[in-house]
Structure formats: structure tokens, C-alpha cells
Structure 1
Amino acid sequence: MKLAGIHHVAYRCRDAKQTVDWYTKMLNMGFVLAIAEDHVPSTHEPDPYMHIFLDAGNGNVLAFFELPTKPEMGRDENTPKWVQHIAFKVKDRDELVAYKEHLETNGVDVLGVTDHSIFHSIYFFDPNGHRIELACPDPQEEALTRRLDAVKWDMLEEWSRTKKAPRHADWLHAKELASV
């Protein structure tokens, strides 16, 4: 058995129309389809919802549920905001910078460009409070990824034992820290 890929990833939204409008305008995603029912098909609970699907490129689908009868959306306050996020790949750094300029022109606060050595990213929040990352590969991504691949199991094992950051990949953000 082997998974064939992710069919879709679903999150909650405050307002389905606002969410579709934002993702189509800010990230140029296509609005694929909407499903709305008064009962949840899997559990048969009476619970009206709007389920929207957006084209995230290359067969990837991002979906949202608007749940008007449920309490206002919240988040896990024990998890820092930077941890839980959706990351989308863009072609290259020029496109990443173009997205940054487009988002900022449209009033979105953007953090970055952050250099992670193997890729470069910008970060911002959608109108639902979900953190979004756009990432592009570094020109040296393949070689740098091989370097990380060579130490991944050792790093995981050391982390599992100590719960302290292993030093096998200190080089990854060294140039960023050197500029601070």
C-alpha cells in the first residue's frame, strides 16, 4: 500500500465568500467548487455547513468549512502562531518578491523574505487568522537537501533522546544569524 498524494487539506473559515474572494485575489487560486448541506455525511449530525475548495496548483486543493451554528473560531493558545501554517511553493525568488509586493499593496502585512538556505519564504495571515507561507527553492536546493538528508536520522534520534536541537545542520541559518 502507498498513498497517492493529498486529496485536499481542510481548515475552518469565518466567512466562505470572504475566504474565496481573498484567496482568488491575493494568491490567484481558482475557486473549484462548493458543497453545502444541513447534515454531516460522515456522522449524520444536523449541522449546516458550506465547504469550499480552491485550486492550489498541481492538483493540490485547499478547502475550508464555514460553520455558522458553531462558536466563533479559535486557535490552540498553547501552540505559537508561527507553528501551524499552510505553505505553498512558488517558482522562484522573483515570483516570491512579486507576491510580497502584491500582498503589501493590498494591505497584507508580510514577514520576510526569510532565507532558510534550502528555500526562501514570506509569511502572512489570511482573513481567518491562518498563517500562510509562500516558499521558493534556493538555486542550491538539491545539494543542500542532500546534505540535510545525510543527517536526518541522526538528528531525529538525538532529538528524541535529549529534546535539544542537534547541531548537525547549524549551517542552515548561520548566514541569517550572522547578519543580525
Structure 2
Amino acid sequence: MSDTPQLRLHHLALTVADLDASVQWYEAVFDVHPVLDVPHQGGVGRILADADQTLMFALHRHDTNDGGLFEETTTGLDHAGFGVSNRDDLEAWQDHLEAHGVVRSDAADKPLTQSPIADEPYAAVLVFRDPDNIQLELFAPATG
């Protein structure tokens, strides 16, 4: 092991089609709130964080965005995964997501859908998508 200090994720930056709509959705789903706007050439980034700033999103609007939906099959972000303590937490998240317009489906294959919880050998996994079709996942440790 090198002497390089261990890193931790500071924030997740996502390009969105409708900044205001995405801010509302991320606020409601993740309990993060705007703390700062960061103008950049051709747009703006809005930083959202929880109270202790351990979960932060930077939602970016670019003037050249064509408004198309995200596709993980292109170069760049595939998905973002978050951890929870146990499978019961995943079940609570299913209800929480549904209360915020993320409907249960056979597969999370379009905006604002969520999959059933998959019990895989490595973890229990809940997959869902934001309004721009960005895939997000919640992981709980595998049991047994």
C-alpha cells in the first residue's frame, strides 16, 4: 500500500435536462438541498447536500443539452450505487421511491421506474432511475 491518503467520494455530478425539476426530485428522494450555484461556461451547476454534507450531488445544466434521455451504453457514467445497512432498508426505500413517483416495474428500464429487489450472491440490489433515466442503485449486504 502506498502512502497516498485514502479517498472518499466527495460528490456525484450529473448533467440533467431540466435543472429545476431534477433539483426537486433529488431533494425529495435523497433529502439533499441546494447550497450553492456554480456558474460555468454554457450553464450552471447546482450543488445539493444533506445536513452534514456527507451526501452531495452537483446537478448541471448545459445550454447545449439536447434534452435527450441518459443511456448507460455510451461512454461515461454507467450508474451510481449507494449502500444501505440491510434488506429491510431496501424495502423502506421501495416505498419511499414510490411515494416520490418512482413506480414499481418488472425492470427499471425507463425514467422514474424501480425494479424488484434482486437477491444476488454479492448483495441485495434495488435499481431505479431518475427523471433523466440515470440509473441509480441501492445495495444491502448479502445475508446467509
Answer whether TM exceeds 0.5 for this pair.
yes
Look at both structures and tell me which one has the larger radius of gyration over its CA atoms.
Answer: 1
- Aligned-partner Cα distance in 1 for 2:85–2:101: 23
3-state DSSP class of the match of 1:6? coil
Q: Does residue 1:19 correspond to 2:14, yes or no?
A: no
Cα distance change of structure 1 residues 59 and 76 upon mapping to structure 2, 3 Å threshold: closer
Q: How far, CA to CA, are the matches of 1:56 and 1:100 in structure 2?
A: 23
- Distance in 2 of aligned mates of 1:111 and 1:57: 30
More strand by share: 2
Unaligned stretches of 5+ residues in structure 1: 41-45, 141-180
Query: Do the aligned residues in 1 keep the contact of 2:12 with 2:58 (CA within 8 Å)?
Result: yes
Higher relative contact order (CA 8 A, sep 6+): 2
Cα contact 1:7–1:61 (8 A) shared by 2? yes
Q: How far apart are residue 114 of structure 1 and its match? A: 0.5
Kindly report which structure 2 residues correspond to 1:38-77, keeping only aligned pairs within 5 A, or say none. 40=40, 46-55=41-50, 59-67=54-62, 69-74=63-68
Query: For 2:14 and 2:138, how far apart are their aligned partners in 1?
Result: 18
Number of aligned residues: 129
- Asked whether the 8 Å contact 2:28–2:100 carries over to 1, the reply is no
C-alpha displacement of 1:91: 2.0
The match for 2:97 is 103
- The answer (yes or no) to whether the contact 1:123–1:134 under 8 Å persists in 2 is yes
SS in 2 for 1:112: coil
**Correspondent of 2:32 among 30, 41, 46:** 30
Q: How far apart, CA to CA, are the structure 1 residues paired with 2:80 and 2:8? A: 16
Q: 1:9 aligns with which of 2, 12, 15?
A: 12
Once the two structures are aligned, what percentage of the paired residues are identical? 26
* TM-score normalised by structure 1 residue count: 0.59
C-alpha root-mean-square deviation of aligned residues, in Å?
Answer: 2.8
AA aligned to 1:129 is: N
Query: 2:38·2:46 contact (CA, 8 Å) conserved in 1?
Result: yes
Gaps of 5+ in 2: 103-112
